[in-house]
Structure 1
Amino acid sequence: MRQNNWTWAALVLLGAAALLLLLMNRFPGALDSENAQMRFVYGVLLLTLVGSGVLMGWRERAGVALKQALTWIAIALVLVIGYSYRDVFSDIGSRLRSEVAPSVPVTGEPGTAYLSRDMTGHFHADALVNGTHVRFLVDTGASDVALSAADARRVGIDFSRLSYTIPYQTANGVIHAARVRLDEVTVGGITLRDVDASVSQGGLDTSLLGMSFLGRLGSVEVRGERLVLRY
């Protein structure tokens, strides 16, 4: 019986090859496009799965063979639908992730980052500064990327070289900061190099993603509950 199965499999493959040659000869260029090729692959896959289900149940009752064929058809449909709507499923997954962790940037394409508004009504961004994770509050009113003292230490800023000569007006009053330059700041799919920043002497608990980063982008746009950054 096993030898007969291999014979049938060989005949099926030869038949599929003959059908492919016939179609290419009868309809030249019909399989040139990617969509046409994928439809042909789907069709061959579906016929193969159905045929294998029927062959495996050939010696059993007709009901078993039919159930196996229907099972393979369902599996094939799930695979086809999953592949066809992969972009939609990916977008849904990104949206769910942004709802669970609003500060984690979602990258739609290179040079973009999407941030979701958190429960406080603000936009936060998990970024990489010189390869180190820093959580920023997005602040278009801040002239610089402002690092808190704690984040500056983690990034590797040498405090012995800092000169706190720049005054900043905050909600808690005037604080002084030192000018620094960051080698690299990455938010989602956006990476900027040589970013001007400042390190506060005190009074700043959360680092701010200010205009020395945002001002170098092509656009910063609020769309409902999402902040869209494009380089």
Structure 2
Amino acid sequence: MWLAGIGFVLFGLAALATVHGERPVAGLEPKDFAIALALTGAACVATGWMIDDWRGRMRDGVRALFAWTMVLFGLVGLYAYRFEINGVASRIMAELRPGSVEVTSSGEVSVPRRGDGSFMFGAKANGRDLRFIFDTGASLVVLTHESATRIGIDPKALAFTVPVATANGRTLAAPLTLDTLSVGSIEARRVRTLVAQPGVLHENLLGMSFLDRLASFEVRDGRLYLRGRQPAT
């Protein structure tokens, strides 16, 4: 029972460590220190239970202890490779739910890298849902002809007068200004945009006319993070 008592005390200390703040505890980050305490507490509780339950049957107790040790090693292994596992899980979710964005507690908008290496954002253009591929090589936001029609743009009002270079050669696109373009919690107004001719483009491009409005963007641990300016422009 005294081992179980120590275990529960360690659980309590682990809970306190999670709210310790940003300062290291015993050379570890608060989160890592709390996890180490919780695992040690779990080991104490399990050992105390086995000693009490298997008293007089030492051989069976040793077998149970070995099994629990293997479980503990497995949990430690999962924790050690948590970033790699999270990266794989993020890629799977990116393929299952393309364009799904996450807004962090600091206000950043994030999406995982897709299997083909690109980043896709779910966004709203003039209040309508669209998906965009992140593209720093595009000087402007670019809509497919079908997407422009979907958000209420009259195809007859488009004038294809702007020369652009594509992977298939040079062509013409139509200039357009979106009233609003929002990605997660980040919104930009009066965004210069181009509309591609029918059949020329198959994905909307989140180009620099939107990205230049951001405070920053960066890739961390297989995810792309966008940080808006305050206030949004």
Same-fold call, TM cutoff 0.5: yes
Q: Find the aligned partners of 1:125 and 1:36 in 2 and give their Cα distance.
A: 36
Q: Work out the CA distance in 2 between the residues paired with 1:159 and 1:168.
A: 18
Looking at structure 1, the residues matched to 75 and 42 of structure 2 have their Cα atoms a distance apart, in angstroms, of 10
Mapping of 1:112-191 within 5 angstroms?
Answer: 115=113, 118=116, 123=118, 125-129=120-124, 130=127, 132-136=129-133, 138=135, 140=137, 142-154=138-150, 156-159=151-154, 163-165=157-159, 167-170=161-164, 171=166, 173-186=170-183, 191=186
User: Is 1:75 aligned with 2:65?
Assistant: no
CA distance in 2 between partners of 1:146 and 1:153 (Å): 13
Percent identity over paired residues: 20
215 and 116 in structure 1: CA distance in 2 versus 1, 3 angstrom threshold: farther
Aligned partners of 1:63, 1:182: CA distance in 2, in Å? 74
* Aligned-residue offset at 1:89: 3.1
1:49 aligns with 2:43: no
- Cα distance in 2, alignment partners of residues 220 and 82 from structure 1: 30
Distance 1:212 1:70, change over 3 A: same
Match of 1:16 in 2: 6
- In structure 2, what is the Cα distance between the partners aligned to 1:68 and 1:50? 10
Report whether the alignment pairs 1:210 with 2:212: no
One-letter amino acid matched to 2:149: R
Contact 2:145–2:198 under 8 Å retained in 1? yes
Compute the TM-score of the two structures, normalised by the length of structure 2.
Answer: 0.59
Instruction: Give the structure 2 partner of residue 3 of structure 1.
Output: none
1:83 to 1:174, Cα distance in 2 relative to 1, 3 A: closer
- The answer as to whether partners of 1:145 and 1:211 remain within 8 angstroms in 2 is yes
The Cα of 1:74 is off from its aligned counterpart by: 2.4
Write out per-residue CA displacement over residues 70-106 of structure 1, whole angstroms, 9 at most, x where no aligned residue. 22222233334434653453245446767x78x8689
CA distance in 2, matches of 1:68, 1:17: 18
CA shift at 1:68, angstroms?
A: 0.9
Q: Which runs of 5+ in 1 are unaligned?
A: 1-8, 25-31
The CA distance in 1 between the partners of 2:214 and 2:82, in whole Å, is: 29
Superposition RMSD in Å: 4.5
The size of the alignment, in residue pairs, is: 199
* Normalised TM-score (structure 1): 0.60
CA 1:138/1:92 → structure 2, altered by over 3 Å: closer, same or farther? same
2:9·2:41 contact (CA, 8 Å) conserved in 1?
no
DSSP 3-state at the match of 2:178 = strand
Which whole-Å CA distance do the structure 2 matches of 1:202 and 1:17 have between them? 66
Checking the alignment, whether the CA contact within 8 Å between 2:7 and 2:45 is kept in structure 1 is no
